[in-house]
Amino acid sequence: MKIVCSKNDLLAGVNIVMKAVPSKTSMPILECILINAEDGEIKLTVNDMELGIETKVKGNIEEAGMIAIEAKLFAEIVRKLPNDDITIDVSDDLKVKITCQKAKFDLIGLDGNTFSFLPDINKNESIYISQFSLREIINQTLFSVADNDKTKILTGELIEVNGSNLRVASLDGFRISIRNITLKEEFGNVKVIVPGKTLSEISKILTGGLEDMVNISFTENHILFEFDNTVVVSRLIEGEFFKIDKMISNDYETKVKVNRNELMSAIDRATLLAKEGNIKPIILNINDDAMNIKMNSFIGSMDEDVDVDKEGGNLVIGFNPKFIIEALRAIDDEEVDIYFVNSKSPCFIKNEELSYIYLIVPVNINTNVN
Amino acid sequence: MKIVCSKNDLLAGVNIVMKAVPSKTSMPILECILINAEDGEIKLTVNDMELGIETKVKGNIEEAGMIAIEAKLFAEIVRKLPNDDITIDVSDDLKVKITCQKAKFDLIGLDGNTFSFLPDINKNESIYISQFSLREIINQTLFSVADNDKTKILTGELIEVNGSNLRVASLDGFRISIRNITLKEEFGNVKVIVPGKTLSEISKILTGGLEDMVNISFTENHILFEFDNTVVVSRLIEGEFFKIDKMISNDYETKVKVNRNELMSAIDRATLLAKEGNIKPIILNINDDAMNIKMNSFIGSMDEDVDVDKEGGNLVIGFNPKFIIEALRAIDDEEVDIYFVNSKSPCFIKNEELSYIYLIVPVNINTNVN
């Protein structure tokens, strides 16, 4: 195999596929990038069996072929080469020569035939959505995916299509994050659970705007994202997602409308008194004048009144401050509405159109109130 | 004590004195910031006994007094308060109330009388230099200070004044970095060893330009930096510095003039093949056509020709690549001259005026040359 690519084109492609390189594995081939120069196309692929990414790179194929090269080293070499044409020349015995201007690297590659290619996908159902919107709804819900995998389903996000409605949701046992978005066309019905890691990586390589579309296809076991010159394939998580509709209620006893930034800053300040590993609840005391934010710890205490428009009765309720801040951070609105039932029931931060719903379970503060 | 300061003024002062907060100590008072509001001045002080910093902050003293507060917590609180006036109100029983707009923090302080104030300094000799120049010569030599303290002297830098010449030097057993600078006036003779940590912190808080001066005073045991509203006092390291003049030689057999960026980039690329913890030498092969840069490791090999103007004989010599890169990075010149004697003797990177001299000891490459 012998190809010539500009450094910038090659680096752009490498940066995309690198997102699928696993951090640790016992199989060297999974840590490789496959360069496949056949049929007039140069394709880069990384596949760790859960998540696979393939992207096309512009360049000249002087001799067709393929080679697998340790991905991190190859990426570093491309990054540090001068801004000029890079030639990759592979001999029959897998010796790889990378040259650019006067710099020459000699490496040993792995046989491309031992590489796990992306699976062939029989698309059952497809939708399309702007890269911008998909990136947004991922980032606005991904934070409440559970990061351990005791319950595998919780490490993924629900992606559900019903006609023109796309719903993305995650929950970790303490909170639920839901985003609804209206698609430009009617599609069928789909309900899958996508690994959080896949969505995290997809959101990093989807750099396009509102006009740049991404096609999403679904099969029994896989989800496929296609955009620009790139294909991302991920395994789905098997099983049935929690029935989140049953967890959502529209009843409330107290509703407050509050400036999002003010509330977020006040809670952020209060958490200074909770040292790491010693999570203290933030106590919201909703009274006739304001919502008082209070934090007590062995370090000291903090309190601050935040102006609110209140509807309904007074209430004292405690929360893990991180959960409130993460939900508020995922919202763009200047003002948010928070709905409460009582000090033992979850609160809901949601808008009228229900384009977002954040449910947060409170903390028992009987022993914490002074 | 009761004072009112604007958030910005208070934060600027806090950020300066925080540089003296030790990372770990068994004495809580050493991790504190002292707020001293007396004689119409508000002073912030942090002192870990090796390095002490004091700075004045604008503000109103409503009631004179002083208090010591845990520095990191206080800094975080000031940072996260709204951009408005901050009131610090201390009761006789050391309760500290910090308020800003509607936010209120209640903390417990420590008695200011238990704080270690900065030592009184009897200045023997003083010089002055621009903040810019001092910051530059520190950053251009500090990287070769030894970071362990088996030989305490090596963890400091030599600062030597002879009339109008200021020399700063550090060495770590493998290399020596020397900077000479001409002061605007004649001063006396001084020769001290200043802890690397002190110089590192000083270089971070010296943000002024060529017109902003810093006064440096010396005593038997201390060095004192005075600039703007800030005083920094550091203990000196006792002992006699190595006789670096005897280590510097002007003889050479081979001299090359090379583009600094080209050489730095080539070596930087080559080090990709040396994984951490497995330092491989970079081999320079100076021949009639060019200087060839070569690196061999179990990962692969890299080589690259760099154009040079050569004077003298051919030479093959090996170096720890990091040492060459750090020296080149500390130089601003587009081209540098490197002087060699033979493959066992140190090389010198220096200019004609000797405003910089970087000595680097080679690595034995007999077993490494292919």
Top CATH class, B252-360:
alpha beta
pLDDT, average across residues B246-275: 94
What is the chain A residue with the closest CA to B261?
A82
Q: May I ask the CATH architecture of the domain A248-360? A: Roll (3.10)
Binary contact (A269, B77; C-beta < 8 A)? yes
Q: Where in chain B is the domain with CATH 3.10.150.10?
A: 2-114, 125-245, 252-360
Report the pLDDT value the prediction gives residue B306, as an integer from 0 to 100: 97
Q: Tell me the per-residue pLDDT of B112-143, one tens digit each, with 9 for 90 and over.
A: 999 999 988 888 789 999 999 999 999 999 99
CATH 3.30.930.10 correct for A145-244: no
All residues of chain A having their beta carbon less than 8 Å from the beta carbon of residue B300 are 105-108
pLDDT, average across residues B233-251: 93
Which of A95, A302, A308 best probes binding to B when mutated, by most B CB atoms within 10 angstroms?
A302
Per-residue pLDDT for B365 more than 90? no
Binary contact (A77, B108; C-beta < 8 A)? no
Report the pLDDT value the prediction gives residue A199, as an integer from 0 to 100: 97
Q: Which CATH superfamily is domain B2-114 in?
A: DNA Polymerase III, subunit A, domain 2 (3.10.150.10)
Of all residues in chain B, the percent with pLDDT exceeding 90 is 87
Which has more confidence, A101 or B27? A101
pLDDT, average across residues A288-307: 94
Q: Tell me the per-residue pLDDT of B51-81, one tens digit each, with 9 for 90 and over.
A: 999 999 999 999 999 999 999 999 999 999 9
Q: Where in chain A is the domain with CATH 3.10.150.10?
A: 2-114, 145-244, 248-360
Which of B80, B295, B325 best probes binding to A when mutated, by most A CB atoms within 10 angstroms?
B80
Per-residue pLDDT for A178 more than 60? yes
What is the chain B residue with the closest CA to A268?
B80
Per-residue pLDDT for B368 more than 50? no
Binary contact (B106, A301; C-beta < 8 A)? yes
Nearest-by-Cβ selection for A272 from B80, B265, B300: B80
ipTM: 0.89
Helix axes B71-80, B7-17, angle to 10 degrees: 150
Report residue B276's pLDDT band, with 50, 70 and 90 as the boundaries.
low
All residues of chain A having their beta carbon less than 8 Å from the beta carbon of residue B266 are 103
Binary contact (A103, B306; C-beta < 8 A)? no
What is the chain A residue with the closest CA to B265?
A80
- Mean pLDDT of all residues in chain A? 94
Interface A-B, measured as beta-carbon pairs within 8 A, has a size of 64
Report residue A148's pLDDT band, with 50, 70 and 90 as the boundaries.
confident
Q: Tell me the per-residue pLDDT of B157-210, one tens digit each, with 9 for 90 and over.
A: 999 999 999 999 999 989 999 999 999 999 999 999 999 999 999 999 999 999
Binary contact (B106, A306; C-beta < 8 A)? no
Binary contact (A304, B268; C-beta < 8 A)? no
CA distance A331 to chain B (A): 21
pLDDT, average across residues A153-169: 96
Q: Tell me the per-residue pLDDT of A58-113, one tens digit each, with 9 for 90 and over.
A: 999 999 999 999 999 999 999 999 999 999 999 999 999 999 999 999 999 999 99
CA distance B281 to chain A (A): 16
Report the pLDDT value the prediction gives residue B149, as an integer from 0 to 100: 66
Report the pLDDT value the prediction gives residue A276, as an integer from 0 to 100: 67
Nearest-by-Cβ selection for A73 from B103, B272, B304: B272
Q: Which CATH superfamily is domain B125-245 in?
A: DNA Polymerase III, subunit A, domain 2 (3.10.150.10)
What is the chain A residue with the closest CA to B80?
A269
- Mean pLDDT of all residues in chain B? 94
pLDDT, average across residues B256-267: 97
Report residue B26's pLDDT band, with 50, 70 and 90 as the boundaries.
confident
Least confident of A147-156, B80-89, B278-287: A147-156
Q: Tell me the per-residue pLDDT of A15-31, one tens digit each, with 9 for 90 and over.
A: 999 999 988 878 888 99
Report the pLDDT value the prediction gives residue A107, as an integer from 0 to 100: 96
